[in-house]
Structure 1
């Protein structure tokens, strides 16, 4: 019984926190961030292809 009550209260708190528009904001990605992400993906793919080719 007490666990259910705690669970319901915790769930309500978390839902309220998720719906709060004044919560912490995540900054938008800049074009430079996309370039670094694309470069990292390209390097990983090249390493994967090179590894498969060597084996």
Structure 2
């Protein structure tokens, strides 16, 4: 399973805003559980998918 988080407004001034506190909690959760949750950048994830996908 892959989940992508995309934020357009952290801390205010946007209709899809997420509070700075909530954003920090998410980042802390990811950091605290990095031994269980792989948190690559987009390029690393794309390379992994390409390397592991099977041909149909």
TM-score where L is the length of structure 1: 0.32
Higher RCO, 1 or 2 (CA under 8 Å, sep at least 6)? 2
Rg bigger for which structure? 1
Higher helix proportion: 1
